[in-house]
Amino acid sequence: MDAFCQVVRVFEDDAVYHIWSNPDPAREVEFVHGEMVLHDLVFIEKRVERIDKGLKKGKDDKAEREKVLLGRFREALEKDVPLRNVEIVPDDALLIQSYPFLTRKACIIALMWRTGPSRIPRCATNSRSASPTSGLLRADRRAR
């Protein structure tokens, strides 16, 4: 898997259940981001424990290098910086290529607009003149 796509509803409709009672796209994106950060932090914690156990048995330069890299990753995640924004050298990328870091993946946020008459508040659009059907939705309709 190369990327995540998070579909976020930006319209209100009493007929459509919402876990937090009303849609708030920013809150929902932040919630999913927080869950991904937490996943990566838990993975790092467990991996560092395994590395430490191995290092007690003997010196291992590769494991020490990996532990330093995971420490950098932990610092970034604790500052709420996704790992895709942390620069690493190709040799370090090889160390972690099989690891399930969620925040290293690209993340696409797709906004789900209501079809038909819109009741979307102005704050949900990028500018006062923007239309809920502008941009990607209009391009998507042409492709059909």
Residue 116 reports pLDDT greater than 70 = no
Looking at residue 138, its pLDDT comes to 36
**Cβ neighbours of 51 (radius 10 Å):** 17
Helix boundaries (H) for 58-135: 61-78, 90-96
Model confidence, pTM: 0.72
**CATH 1.10.150.300 is right for the domain spanning 24-104:** yes
Average pLDDT over residues 119-143: 41
- Confidence label for 117 from pLDDT (cuts 50, 70 and 90): low
Mean pLDDT value across the chain = 81
**Cα–Cα separations (whole angstroms), residue 60 to 51, 52, 57, 117:** 9, 10, 9, 63
Looking at residue 3, its pLDDT comes to 92
Looking at residue 42, its pLDDT comes to 98
Looking at residue 134, its pLDDT comes to 37
CB-based contacts of 22-26 (< 8 A; 24+ apart in sequence): 25/111, 25/124
Q: What is the CA radius of gyration of the chain?
A: 21
Q: Rounded to the nearest 5 degrees, what angle is found at the Cα of 42, between the Cα atoms of 103 and 97?
A: 50
Q: Copy the structure tokens of residue 4.
A: 């995540």
**Cα–Cα separations (whole angstroms), residue 50 to 42, 43, 74, 93, 110:** 13, 11, 16, 19, 38
Residue 120 reports pLDDT greater than 60 = no
Residue 129 reports pLDDT greater than 60 = no
Residue 44 reports pLDDT greater than 90 = yes
Looking at residue 18, its pLDDT comes to 67
Residue 119 reports pLDDT greater than 80 = no
Percent of the chain with pLDDT over 70: 76
The helix, strand and coil proportions of the chain, stated in percent and rounded to the nearest 5, come to 50, 10, 40
Looking at residue 144, its pLDDT comes to 35
Please state, in angstroms and rounded to a whole number, the distance separating the CA atoms of residues 28 and 16. 16
